Amino acid sequence: MTNASKIDGSPKTDSKFEDIISNLPQDNSWKSTGPLYKYQGFWYIPWVLRKVISAQESFTPQPTDVFLCSSPKSGTTWLKALAFSIVSRNQVNDSTNPLLENLPHEIVPFLEIESTQNSSNRNLEIPLVATHIPYTSLPKSIIDSGCKIIYICRDPKDVLISHWNFGLKVSGIGLESFSLEEALEQYCKGIYPYGPYWDHVLGFWKASLEFPEKVLFVKYEDLKTDGPFHVKRMANFLGHPFSVEEEQQGVAENIVKKCSFETLSRLEVNKNGKFYLPELPNIENKYFFRKGKAGDWKNYLTNEKAEKLDQIMEEKFSGSGLV
Ligand code: PAP
């Protein structure tokens, strides 16, 4: 295994970074994180923004890299497990599969979160990197490369509920200081880490229409309804199509089963393991597996509140072809 990583960047010096953020719009309603800053149209917690800028300055992808992109709480953990299973299916078997002993986030690093801190964080034999960075802020080296991108999006109402519940457990990401009502307000204004959601989604949606060979757009709800179809779609897109023999053996169906919420959330590592991030020291792996359902928002939001968010999304997506 090669451990040299090209993710590592030279982080901005404190003074350069302070100069940059001193000129950015800021929002002070995020009590536990300090102000959020709006950079290139999206809001960030300062320590994340620093890493985003660092990645923009110095990240160089490998030619074979695939980027798994998402807004937080849209299905990143699931997409990581599925993409890893697709690309590694001929190298691992049922007893050696790293997913049995590792949180998917430990297998596929985040470009702007843990990977930029430590060059040993990346195993170059796994050509997958995840990021929450919006399309228009991705490092130019990625945009200019031939690297493929898979984007997962999810019903924003479920994203909000997932995010808010995660915030109740993990202090430091900001949402813990908001009631659900206030969190909804923040979502409607688009002011939360990596928000606004509509611009995040639209950036990748438009890129997927313009460069279909480079950007594949996947919906969480579609994966729930017909996992095998979308796993085959991803495999084709990644240049790892299932052979006739694999089709007969039901390999795609097997991947869907092994990466299902039910399977992953019952693994010991995902029940009792811890995910190490210096900035957020209290994350447990089980926090990434809450309910894994489409439509859980109905247990939290009245129809009236849901409609408010729906209307905003409809307005923002209008004319884009995205529903
Ligand atoms: P991240 O952005 O912090 O990485 P992300 O994985 O995108 O989080 O989102 C977590 C959500 O995906 C959780 O949703 P919930 O709060 O509504 O339950 C989590 O349960 C869900 N999730 C994780 N793994 C799976 C899976 N294998 N299948 C379906 N949903 C999943």
pLDDT single digits (tens) 252-309: 999 999 999 999 999 999 999 998 887 887 899 999 999 999 999 999 999 999 999 9
Residue nearest atom 28 in ligand 1 by C-alpha distance: 261
Average pLDDT score, the chain: 91
Q: What is the atom index within ligand 1 of the atom nearest the CA of 74?
A: 7
Specify the pLDDT at position 3.
33
Mean pLDDT, range 5-11, rounded to an integer: 40
Lowest mean pLDDT among 52-61, 70-79, 237-246: 52-61
- Give 13 Cα–ligand 1 centroid separation in angstroms: 34
In a domain, 54, yes or no: yes
In a domain, 7, yes or no: no
Mean pLDDT, range 146-165, rounded to an integer: 97
Mean pLDDT, range 204-208, rounded to an integer: 98
Residue 1 above 60 pLDDT? no
% residues pLDDT > 90 (the chain): 78
Residue nearest atom 10 in ligand 1 by C-alpha distance: 73
Specify the pLDDT at position 119.
47
Mean pLDDT, range 12-37, rounded to an integer: 86
Number of compact structural domains in the chain? 1
- Give 288 Cα–ligand 1 centroid separation in angstroms: 5
User: Which residue among the candidates 132, 163, 200, 230 is catalytic per the annotation?
Assistant: 132
Lowest mean pLDDT among 70-74, 176-180, 212-216: 176-180
- Give 10 Cα–ligand 1 centroid separation in angstroms: 31
Q: What is the atom index within ligand 1 of the atom nearest the CA of 105?
A: 4
Q: What is the atom index within ligand 1 of the atom nearest the CA of 162?
A: 16
- Specify whether the CB–CB gap between 68 and 80 falls below 8 A: yes
Residue 313 above 50 pLDDT? yes
Domain that holds residue 297: 24-317
Specify the pLDDT at position 294.
98
**115 pLDDT band (50/70/90 cuts)?**
low
In a domain, 47, yes or no: yes
Mean pLDDT, range 187-206, rounded to an integer: 97
The 3-class secondary structure across the chain, one letter per residue, is: CCCCCCCCCCCCCHHHHHHHHHCCCEECCCCCCCCEEEECCEEECHHHHHHHHHHHHHCCCCCCCEEEEECCCCCHHHHHHHHHHHHCCCCCCCCCCHHHCCCHHHHCCECCCCCCCCHHHCCCCCCEEEECCCHHHCCHHHHCCCCEEEEEECCHHHHHHHHHHHHHHCCCCCHHHCCHHHHHHHHHHCCCCCCCHHHHHHHHHHHHHHCCCCEEEEEHHHHHHCHHHHHHHHHHHCCCCCCHHHHHHCHHHHHHHHCCHHHHHHCHHHHHCECCCCCCCCCEHHHHCCCCCCCHHHHCCCHHHHHHHHHHHHHHHCCCCCC
**125 pLDDT band (50/70/90 cuts)?**
confident
Is position 105 annotated as part of the catalytic site? no
Mean pLDDT, range 179-199, rounded to an integer: 95
In a domain, 264, yes or no: yes
In a domain, 4, yes or no: no
Specify the pLDDT at position 121.
60
We report the CATH number of the domain holding residue 32 as 3.40.50.300
Q: What is the atom index within ligand 1 of the atom nearest the CA of 75?
A: 7
Residue 162 above 50 pLDDT? yes
- Give 244 Cα–ligand 1 centroid separation in angstroms: 31
pTM of the model: 0.94
Lowest mean pLDDT among 54-58, 101-105, 173-177, 192-196: 173-177
Task: Out of 225, 260, 289, 293, give the residue to mutate to test ligand 1, the one with the largest number of ligand atoms within 8 Å of its CB.
Answer: 289
Mean pLDDT, range 37-56, rounded to an integer: 94
Residue 148 above 90 pLDDT? yes
Mean pLDDT, range 158-167, rounded to an integer: 95
- Give 261 Cα–ligand 1 centroid separation in angstroms: 8
In a domain, 114, yes or no: yes
Task: Out of 162, 192, 257, 301, give the residue to mutate to test ligand 1, the one with the largest number of ligand atoms within 8 Å of its CB.
Answer: 162
Residues flanking ligand 1, CB < 6 Å: 70, 72-78, 81, 158, 162, 165, 259-261, 264, 288-292, 296
In a domain, 70, yes or no: yes
**129 pLDDT band (50/70/90 cuts)?**
very high
In a domain, 323, yes or no: no
Mean pLDDT, range 239-258, rounded to an integer: 97
